[in-house]
């Protein structure tokens, strides 16, 4: 696992411990509309999906959906993130450590711009990435398509094959693999086999392990 020239991060579940909040908001919304789901069930159905990809699934289940449903949900999720989202344990320490390395960092999320801005604003992580922050609204197609990781790699001035993608969902990992990146699978809350099945290059369970996987020794880190 040597020779990386950039690190491309997913956000939810990797840096922002936000997935349980999205699951809760989505479960509450859909339960009120007639699709009774617990937050855990919501997470299992929609893990890693962008809002545009959720809407057809919901419409197929309910048979109908308000035309502005994605905007309604976006607002609910954004308001929740701005109030409540915590960091994944070790995320800030990791970013501080990587800031001292020669590797440029980018963020590539299936969140909307508004939601992503709310999360980063609460967590204070935006300065680590500068202008290399991408939402699904910044590319033609969301994950699992490769577009967002191709854009993030280009923003770092690196070939995709020289980039490490840090992902916790099979959907996101597929996007990184499809882009030609080397994907490091964060299995803090994801079954390792689910990530192995989509072709990740390595697995890890704690963010403190990541510098070693990136080939950064103690002095360089």
149 within 8 A of 8, measured Cβ to Cβ: yes
Taking only the tens place, the pLDDT of each residue in 163-190 is: 999 999 999 999 999 999 999 999 998 9
Residue 218 pLDDT > 70, yes or no?
A: no
Residue 221 pLDDT > 60, yes or no?
A: no
> In the numeric block, which tokens belong to residue 186?
């964060």
> Which band of pLDDT confidence, cut at 50, 70 and 90, is reported for residue 220?
very low
> In the numeric block, which tokens belong to residue 74?
């976006």
Q: How far apart are CA 33 and CA 220, in angstroms?
A: 53
Check residue 138 and give its pLDDT.
97
Helix 51-62 and helix 19-33: axis angle, to 10°?
Answer: 30
From 144, 204, 152, select the one nearest 177 (Cα to Cα): 144
Taking only the tens place, the pLDDT of each residue in 4-37 is: 999 999 999 999 998 899 899 999 999 999 999 9
Mean pLDDT to the nearest integer, 29-57: 92
Q: Which residue do the tokens 């604003």 mark?
A: 121
From 210, 182, 209, 186, select the one nearest 4 (Cα to Cα): 182
207 within 8 A of 97, measured Cβ to Cβ: no
Check residue 1 and give its pLDDT.
56
Q: Which residue do the tokens 């919901």 mark?
A: 58
Q: How far apart are CA 121 and CA 73, in angstroms?
A: 19
3 state DSSP class of 7: strand
Phi, psi torsion values for 128, nearest 5 degrees: -70, -20
Query: In CATH, what is the architecture of 6-17+87-214?
Result: 3-Layer(aba) Sandwich (3.40)
Domain borders along the chain are 6-17+87-214, 18-84
91 within 8 A of 69, measured Cβ to Cβ: no
As a CATH number, domain 18-84 is: 1.10.150
How far is residue 42 from each of residues 57, 69, 100, measured CA to CA in Å? 12, 16, 38
180 within 8 A of 154, measured Cβ to Cβ: no
């Amino acid at each position: 696992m040597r020779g990386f020239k950039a690190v491309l991060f997913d956000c939810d579940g990797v840096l922002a411990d936000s997935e349980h909040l999205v699951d809760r908001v989505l479960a509450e919304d859909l339960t009120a509309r007639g699709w009774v789901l617990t937050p855990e069930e919501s997470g299992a159905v929609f893990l890693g999906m962008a809002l545009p990809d959720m809407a057809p699934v919901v419409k197929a289940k309910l048979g109908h959906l308000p035309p502005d449903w994605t905007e309604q949900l976006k607002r609910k999720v954004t308001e929740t993130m701005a109030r409540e989202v915590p960091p994944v344990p070790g995320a800030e320490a990791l970013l501080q450590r990587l800031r001292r390395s020669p590797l440029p960092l980018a963020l590539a999320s299936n969140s909307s711009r508004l939601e992503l801005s709310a999360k980063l604003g609460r967590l204070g992580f935006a300065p680590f990435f500068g202008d290399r922050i991408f939402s699904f609204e910044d590319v033609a197609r969301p994950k699992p398509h490769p577009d967002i990781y191709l854009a993030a790699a280009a923003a770092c001035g690196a070939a995709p094959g020289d980039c490490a993608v840090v992902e916790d969902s099979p959907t996101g990992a597929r996007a990184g693999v499809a882009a030609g990146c080397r994907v490091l699978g964060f299995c803090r809350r994801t079954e390792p086999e689910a990530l192995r099945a989509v072709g990740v290059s390595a697995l890890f369970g704690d963010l403190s392990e990541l510098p070693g996987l990136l080939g950064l020794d103690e002095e360089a880190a």
